[in-house]
Structures are given as C-alpha cells and as structure tokens.
Amino acid sequence: MSTFWQRFLGNPRVLLGLAWLALVLVIAVFAPLLAPNDPFEIVTDPFLRPFGEYLFGTDSLGRSMWAGLAHGARTTLIIASVATLASVAFGTVLGALAGFFGGLIDDVLMRLTEFFQTIPSFIFAIVLVAILAPSATSLIVAIAVVSWPPIARVVRGEVLSVKSREFVQAAVLAGQADLAILFKQVLPNTLSPLIVTGSLLVATAILIESALSFLGLGAPNLMSWGFMVGAGRSFLRDAWWLVTIPGIAILLTVLSINLVGEGLNDALNPRLADL
C-alpha cells in the first residue's frame, strides 16, 4: 500500500492545482512588491488592451488591471480562509457536542443546523452583509454564518461512529473527563473528513465572496476579483478583458482548490478513490 503522500502527490490533478495555488499565494503575499501602485490609483489612459505596456491592460478609469489582480488575490484569499477557519471551528464544536453528548443536546443542535440549512444561504449572506454594513469583517461573518452547517453534520457523523470504539471506552475506564475524551481522543480521529470538507469549503467561500463583491456588497477600499468583474460589466461590449481576466482568475483558483480537495479525499480514502 502506497503512503498518503505518494498517493496525494502522485495525482497529476493535485499537482496542477497546487502549482496554481502556489502561484496565487506568492502573488498575494508579494503583491506590494510586484504591483507597487495602489490598485485604486489611476496610472495611465483608460481601456488599454492587455499584453501591451500593462500586462493585463487598464480598466475604465485607467487603473492597472495587474495591480487589481495582485491585490485582489490578497483580499479574496484572506477573506475566504478566515471565513472558512471560523466556520470550521464553530461547526466542529457544535457537531462534536451534538454527536458526543447525544440526547437533548443533539436534538437541539441538529434542529438548529437544519434550520440554518432551510434559509436560502446566499440571500441570507446578502442580508447579513447589508445589516452589518459592507466591510471585510462583515463579509467574513456572513460567509462563516452560512457555511458551518455541513461541517457540523460531518463532524457529528464522525464523532458518532468514533465514540463507540474501544479506545474511547478505554479512556472512559481510565477515568478521563468527558471533554478531555472528546478533544483528545475522539476529535483527532475525525480529522481526515474534516480536512477534506474544510478545504472544499474554501472554494465555496471564494465563490460567495466574489458574488457579494460583484453585487457591490464587498469590502470598500479593498480591491477584489469579484469587484473587478462587477466594475467591468458595464463595458462588456467594448472592453471584454475587464470582465474576462478576473473571472478566469476566480475560476482557476476555485478549480485548483477543488482538485486539491478531491485529491486529499482520494488519498485519505484509497478504497473509494476508484468510484
């Protein structure tokens, strides 16, 4: 049986995904060096075509598209990863408590989860951002609030199956406290599905963030890919690159995350990989 890393890195789809993600990450981290201008600064004439003096051309106000893409990568990645971390943390605690204690706690928490799944999540996110006033923090809160239910369900299911295993019973006999058993014995054994679901959640978070920014509900003063598409849509007829290029950036990034996430899943569950 090959090791996890052999299975994971031997998958060409994973390598492609990782390569693009690494590129985006480097651009995001070094954005101030690679594109020293403020992305909102007007640098030259508007509507310059791409691949000329400016790598990706300029937008309707004469702002550099390259600067927008580089700084937008920062905004998008930061918001998506923080929101995912928050929803994973919240969903894990909720799912773990529900699965571990069962009974009334389980009933109440699972009703709550189902309730949140009934509300159309994107409309809910729009309302949350509007109520909290658009900012990076409210985007993060809105994305996290609508994304935690699947995590809670996955963790609950895993906890339910792990908690009846022998090593948990041994821990009970050894006199460990409930919460110590939950956090030290049970949860570490639910990590692999959690990592897969969490990594795929980053992709969803990017899609929600860019859709909100596209609708004009993004963080003001922060350049993002969705905002660039939204700003360029009025000029679709004359300047196709304003919409096309940032959209491709979103598409490739989300695609790469999905490829890596599925690669993780296949590598962690080799028996299911052929399905």
Report the interface residues with other proteins, using CB under 8 A: 115, 117-128, 130-131, 133, 203, 207, 210-211, 214-215, 226, 229-230, 233, 236-237, 240, 243-244, 247, 250-251, 254-255, 258-259, 275
Size (the chain), residues? 275
Q: In degrees, to the nearest 5, what angle opens at C-alpha 267 toward C-alphas 265 and 270? A: 95
Nearer to other proteins, 190 or 204 (CB): 204
User: Shortest distance, CB of residue 204 to other proteins, whole angstroms?
Assistant: 10
Nearer to other proteins, 182 or 208 (CB): 208
User: Shortest distance, CB of residue 210 to other proteins, whole angstroms?
Assistant: 6
Tokens of 229: 């598409």
Give residue 236's identity as a one-letter amino acid code: L
Closest CA to 92 of 198, 204, 202: 198
Q: In degrees, to the nearest 5, what angle opens at C-alpha 155 toward C-alphas 171 and 108? A: 95
User: Shortest distance, CB of residue 99 to other proteins, whole angstroms?
Assistant: 21
Nearer to other proteins, 9 or 255 (CB): 255
Spatial separation of the C-alpha atoms in residues 263 and 191, rounded to whole Å = 16
Residue found under tokens 């928050």: 86
User: Shortest distance, CB of residue 84 to other proteins, whole angstroms?
Assistant: 16
SS3 string of 248-268?
HHHHHHHHHHHHHHHHHHHHH
Nearer to other proteins, 30 or 115 (CB): 115
User: Shortest distance, CB of residue 259 to other proteins, whole angstroms?
Assistant: 7
Nearer to other proteins, 37 or 50 (CB): 50
Spatial separation of the C-alpha atoms in residues 40 and 27, rounded to whole Å = 18
